[in-house]
Amino acid sequence: MELHNLKPAKGSVKSNKRLGRGQGSGYGGTSSRGHKGAKSRSGYSRKRNFEGGQMPLQMRLPKRGFKNPNRTSYVPLNLSKVQSIHEKFGINDINHETLVAHGIINKGDKVKLLANGELTAKVSVTVNAASATAQEKIKASGSSVNLV
Protein backbone atom coordinates (compact mmCIF):
# COMPACT_ATOMS: atom_id res chain seq x y z
CA MET A 1 0.00 0.00 0.00
CA GLU A 2 1.27 3.43 -0.93
CA LEU A 3 -0.13 6.97 -0.82
CA HIS A 4 -1.27 6.94 -4.45
CA ASN A 5 -3.20 3.67 -3.85
CA LEU A 6 -5.30 4.91 -0.90
CA LYS A 7 -9.07 4.76 -1.39
CA PRO A 8 -12.01 4.94 1.03
CA ALA A 9 -13.60 1.62 2.01
CA LYS A 10 -16.09 0.21 -0.49
CA GLY A 11 -19.60 1.56 0.10
CA SER A 12 -18.48 4.24 2.59
CA VAL A 13 -18.67 7.15 0.13
CA LYS A 14 -21.96 7.92 -1.63
CA SER A 15 -22.38 10.29 -4.54
CA ASN A 16 -24.89 13.03 -3.79
CA LYS A 17 -28.33 13.31 -5.42
CA ARG A 18 -28.07 15.72 -8.35
CA LEU A 19 -31.50 17.30 -8.16
CA GLY A 20 -33.11 19.05 -11.12
CA ARG A 21 -30.64 17.79 -13.73
CA GLY A 22 -33.04 16.27 -16.25
CA GLN A 23 -35.45 13.32 -16.39
CA GLY A 24 -32.69 10.80 -17.04
CA SER A 25 -31.25 11.28 -13.54
CA GLY A 26 -34.52 10.26 -11.88
CA TYR A 27 -34.49 13.52 -9.88
CA GLY A 28 -35.45 15.96 -12.62
CA GLY A 29 -38.62 18.02 -13.00
CA THR A 30 -39.95 18.52 -9.49
CA SER A 31 -36.63 17.45 -7.91
CA SER A 32 -38.51 14.91 -5.73
CA ARG A 33 -40.48 17.71 -4.00
CA GLY A 34 -43.91 16.71 -5.31
CA HIS A 35 -46.21 19.15 -7.11
CA LYS A 36 -46.81 22.80 -6.10
CA GLY A 37 -47.45 24.05 -2.56
CA ALA A 38 -45.22 25.82 -0.05
CA LYS A 39 -42.98 22.80 0.55
CA SER A 40 -41.98 22.68 -3.12
CA ARG A 41 -40.70 26.27 -3.14
CA SER A 42 -37.17 27.36 -2.38
CA GLY A 43 -36.63 29.13 0.93
CA TYR A 44 -39.50 27.27 2.61
CA SER A 45 -39.37 26.85 6.37
CA ARG A 46 -42.48 26.15 8.44
CA LYS A 47 -43.07 28.33 11.51
CA ARG A 48 -43.05 26.67 14.92
CA ASN A 49 -46.50 25.43 16.02
CA PHE A 50 -47.88 25.94 12.50
CA GLU A 51 -50.76 23.50 11.99
CA GLY A 52 -51.49 24.07 8.32
CA GLY A 53 -53.72 27.09 8.88
CA GLN A 54 -55.83 25.34 11.53
CA MET A 55 -56.12 27.36 14.77
CA PRO A 56 -53.00 26.34 16.76
CA LEU A 57 -53.39 24.48 20.03
CA GLN A 58 -51.90 27.25 22.19
CA MET A 59 -54.49 29.67 20.77
CA ARG A 60 -57.40 27.24 21.22
CA LEU A 61 -56.76 26.78 24.94
CA PRO A 62 -58.10 29.42 27.36
CA LYS A 63 -55.82 31.79 29.27
CA ARG A 64 -55.83 31.18 33.01
CA GLY A 65 -54.23 32.69 36.09
CA PHE A 66 -52.03 35.66 36.76
CA LYS A 67 -48.32 36.10 37.55
CA ASN A 68 -47.71 39.27 39.53
CA PRO A 69 -44.54 40.90 38.13
CA ASN A 70 -44.08 42.92 41.35
CA ARG A 71 -44.17 39.92 43.71
CA THR A 72 -41.33 39.72 46.24
CA SER A 73 -40.24 36.15 46.83
CA TYR A 74 -38.44 35.13 50.00
CA VAL A 75 -36.20 32.19 50.85
CA PRO A 76 -37.66 30.53 53.97
CA LEU A 77 -35.45 30.23 57.05
CA ASN A 78 -36.99 28.16 59.81
CA LEU A 79 -36.05 28.40 63.49
CA SER A 80 -34.81 24.80 63.35
CA LYS A 81 -32.34 25.88 60.62
CA VAL A 82 -31.22 28.86 62.75
CA GLN A 83 -30.60 26.45 65.64
CA SER A 84 -28.59 24.07 63.42
CA ILE A 85 -26.54 26.99 62.00
CA HIS A 86 -25.69 28.07 65.55
CA GLU A 87 -24.69 24.50 66.55
CA LYS A 88 -22.76 23.72 63.36
CA PHE A 89 -20.84 26.98 62.86
CA GLY A 90 -21.05 28.55 66.34
CA ILE A 91 -22.48 31.81 64.97
CA ASN A 92 -24.45 34.08 67.34
CA ASP A 93 -25.10 36.90 64.85
CA ILE A 94 -26.97 35.46 61.85
CA ASN A 95 -27.39 37.94 58.98
CA HIS A 96 -27.44 38.01 55.18
CA GLU A 97 -23.64 37.98 54.84
CA THR A 98 -23.14 34.95 57.10
CA LEU A 99 -25.91 33.01 55.31
CA VAL A 100 -24.32 33.76 51.92
CA ALA A 101 -20.84 32.90 53.22
CA HIS A 102 -22.01 29.45 54.39
CA GLY A 103 -23.89 28.75 51.13
CA ILE A 104 -27.38 28.70 52.67
CA ILE A 105 -28.75 31.44 50.37
CA ASN A 106 -27.63 33.23 47.22
CA LYS A 107 -26.39 36.82 47.17
CA GLY A 108 -29.57 38.47 45.83
CA ASP A 109 -32.07 36.43 47.90
CA LYS A 110 -34.42 37.93 50.46
CA VAL A 111 -34.91 35.89 53.65
CA LYS A 112 -38.09 35.35 55.67
CA LEU A 113 -37.88 33.84 59.15
CA LEU A 114 -40.53 31.17 59.80
CA ALA A 115 -41.59 29.49 63.05
CA ASN A 116 -41.05 25.81 62.22
CA GLY A 117 -38.88 24.11 64.87
CA GLU A 118 -37.53 25.13 68.26
CA LEU A 119 -34.81 27.64 69.14
CA THR A 120 -32.86 27.19 72.37
CA ALA A 121 -29.72 29.20 71.55
CA LYS A 122 -29.40 32.94 72.19
CA VAL A 123 -28.81 34.47 68.76
CA SER A 124 -29.34 37.75 66.97
CA VAL A 125 -31.07 37.26 63.61
CA THR A 126 -31.21 39.94 60.91
CA VAL A 127 -33.61 39.12 58.03
CA ASN A 128 -35.85 40.87 55.49
CA ALA A 129 -39.13 39.57 56.94
CA ALA A 130 -40.38 37.36 59.77
CA SER A 131 -43.70 35.78 60.64
CA ALA A 132 -45.43 36.89 63.85
CA THR A 133 -45.13 33.40 65.38
CA ALA A 134 -41.41 33.28 64.62
CA GLN A 135 -40.91 36.65 66.31
CA GLU A 136 -42.79 35.43 69.42
CA LYS A 137 -40.72 32.22 69.61
CA ILE A 138 -37.46 34.18 69.20
CA LYS A 139 -38.38 36.63 71.97
CA ALA A 140 -39.39 33.70 74.22
CA SER A 141 -35.96 32.09 73.77
CA GLY A 142 -34.22 35.35 74.78
CA SER A 143 -32.95 36.02 71.26
CA SER A 144 -33.53 39.09 69.11
CA VAL A 145 -34.77 39.58 65.54
CA ASN A 146 -34.02 42.65 63.40
CA LEU A 147 -35.91 43.37 60.18
CA VAL A 148 -34.07 45.11 57.35
Q: What is the pLDDT along the chain (148 residues), one digit of tens a residue?
A: 899 999 999 999 999 999 999 999 999 999 999 999 989 999 999 999 899 899 999 999 999 999 999 999 999 999 999 999 999 999 999 999 999 999 999 999 999 999 999 999 999 999 999 999 999 999 999 999 999 9
Tell me the whole-structure pTM to 2 decimals: 0.58
CB 126 within 8 A of CB 144: no
**Helix/strand/coil (H/E/C) assignment for every residue in the chain:** CCHHHCCCCCCCCCCCCCCCCCHHHCCCCCCCCCCCCHHHCCCCCCCCCCCCCCCCHHHHCCCCCCCCCCCCCEEEEEHHHHHHHHHHHCCCEECHHHHHHCCCCCCCCEEEEECCCCCCCCCEEEECEECHHHHHHHHHCCCEEEEC
Contact between 91 and 72 under an 8 Å Cβ cutoff? The reply is: no
Distance CA 98, CA 37 (A): 65
Residues 74-147, CATH architecture: Ribosomal Protein L15; Chain: K; domain 2 (3.100)
As a whole number of angstroms, the distance between CA 80 and CA 93 comes to: 16
Q: What's at 133, amino acid-wise?
A: T
Task: For 86, list phi and psi in degrees, rounded to 5.
Answer: -65, -45
